[in-house]
Chains A and B, each alone.
Chain A
Amino acid sequence: MFVTSAFAEESAPAAEGTAGAGAETHAGTAVPGEAHGTFPPFDPATFPSQLLWLAITFGLFYLFLKRVVMPRLGGIIDVRNDRITQDLDHAAKLKGEADAAVAAYEQELAEAKTKANAIGQQANDAAKAEAETARKKVEAALDKKLGEAEASIASIKANAMKEVGSIAEDTASAIVEALVGGKASKAEIAAAVKSVAR
């Protein structure tokens, strides 16, 4: 079934081929070669034409790609890669700057902290020293007052003790008078009081 239909429809292109190729015997026998049942891809009559046109078309294609398309495609891809590396570098640079800024900030912060500590310490020390001097002054004043007070107490005590002696003599002479009825000499009484008062 295939064979007969193949023969039937092959007569059409064969006739067309002979009409086109003219009276040339070479071409005339070549194209109707299909009529002998030649499988078209194995028909040598078509080889020169196909090779020629393959060479022309593929050659032009090669040149076009090599001269125009590939430089352009390569350029696009290179530009993109350059751009990406450039952007990455830029980002890395910015990150470095940010890190440096953070480090500087932290260093300044630490410096400020130590400075603040030093100032605080200094103020503390100064206040302590001032308080110390003030305290010493007050203590000295108090000591002085205490001394004075003790001195006055001592003098008052001495006076009082002196008066206690005379009072005791008076009292003793009065008691002796009342009990004995005689007068004791003043010197005796004084000696007695002294021995009692030690």
Chain B
Amino acid sequence: MAADKVDPIHQFHIVKLIPINIGGYDLSFTNSALFMVATVAVASAFLYLTTSSRSLVPGRLQSVSEMAYEFVSNMLRDAAGTQGLKFFPFVFSLFMFVLVANLLGLFPYFFTVTSHIIVTFGLAALVIGTVVVYGFMKHGLGFLKLFVPHGVPVFLLPLVVLIEVISFVSRPVSLSVRLFANMLAGHITLKVFSGFVVSLSALGAVGVAGSVLPLAMAVALTALELLVAFLQAYVFAVLTCMYLNDALHPGH
């Protein structure tokens, strides 16, 4: 495995840990599944244990949980109004899941769940599915008003409706690709620069001296990736809130 370090793609490989095969589908418990479980376990344990004392005056860790809670709550209220709060558990779960998965992925040798497009697409499809199902349940065919903006001249309407439909359909794609591409690109860059450190160090004293530069770069990139991990979880949650707002209030 020592030679693998230089390959930036290796970290995205799926390895079967417990092979499961049902009806011709490969449903094995893989390293990806393991890290999904780890993400859920870490997030749940953190939220559960830090709030177990229910202090009136919160400690540091309890404040972190409360901050996350109120952060998502305000985000949802700003985007979708108080009616949107019925989706609060959903948005909060999404935010915490993506955030913790991103953060866990920053540890060396850890697998990044959100660097696989099928995972981010699954989450995005869940969001859009919720929007569509809830929109039709709540407003019936009135939900289709979403595609017909007010105050558009009649002769422009077919064109505008077409654009609106395309923009709606591309939402799950953009939502999932944004998160996936950010995590993937960040981790590849990090790996490439770390790989330079290893390769250069193998060249002797001059190489070790020269490897200071990529090392500094790797440190800086780690900080950047930490920011990106937060930012992408935030962006994912904010866009979810805005799409849910469309389901709640389809008229523009």
Among A34, A42, A73, find the residue whose CB has the most chain B CB atoms closer than 10 A. Answer: A73
Please tell me if the beta carbons of A69 and B47 are within 8 angstroms of each other in the complex: yes
A21 to B47, CA, bound (A): 37
Please tell me if the beta carbons of B117 and A41 are within 8 angstroms of each other in the complex: yes
Q: Which partner residue on chain B sits nearest A60 by CB separation?
A: B40
B contact residues, range: 35 or more
Q: Which partner residue on chain B sits nearest A46 by CB separation?
A: B14
Asked if A61 lies at the interface with its beta carbon under 8 angstroms from chain B, I say yes
> Given A6-B9, A17-B16, A55-B122 in contact, is the A48-B27 Cβ separation under 8 Å?
yes
Report B-chain residues with C-beta under 8 Å of the C-beta of A48: 25-27
Asked if A97 lies at the interface with its beta carbon under 8 angstroms from chain B, I say no
Q: Which partner residue on chain A sits nearest B33 by CB separation?
A: A53
Mark interface residues in B88-132 (1 if CB within 8 Å of A CB, else 0): 111011001100000000000000000111110011001000000
Report B-chain residues with C-beta under 8 Å of the C-beta of A72: 51, 54
B167 nearest CB across to chain A (Å): 25
Mark interface residues in B22-37 (1 if CB within 8 Å of A CB, else 0): 0011111110110011
A175 nearest CB across to chain B (Å): 134
Please tell me if the beta carbons of B89 and A62 are within 8 angstroms of each other in the complex: yes
Asked if A98 lies at the interface with its beta carbon under 8 angstroms from chain B, I say no
Please tell me if the beta carbons of A54 and B36 are within 8 angstroms of each other in the complex: yes
B1 nearest CB across to chain A (Å): 8
Report A-chain residues with C-beta under 8 Å of the C-beta of B66: 73, 76-77
| CB<8 Å pairs between A and B, sample of 13 | A2-B8, A5-B3, A5-B6, A9-B7, A20-B28, A26-B24, A40-B14, A47-B118, A49-B25, A49-B30, A50-B116, A57-B37, A69-B51
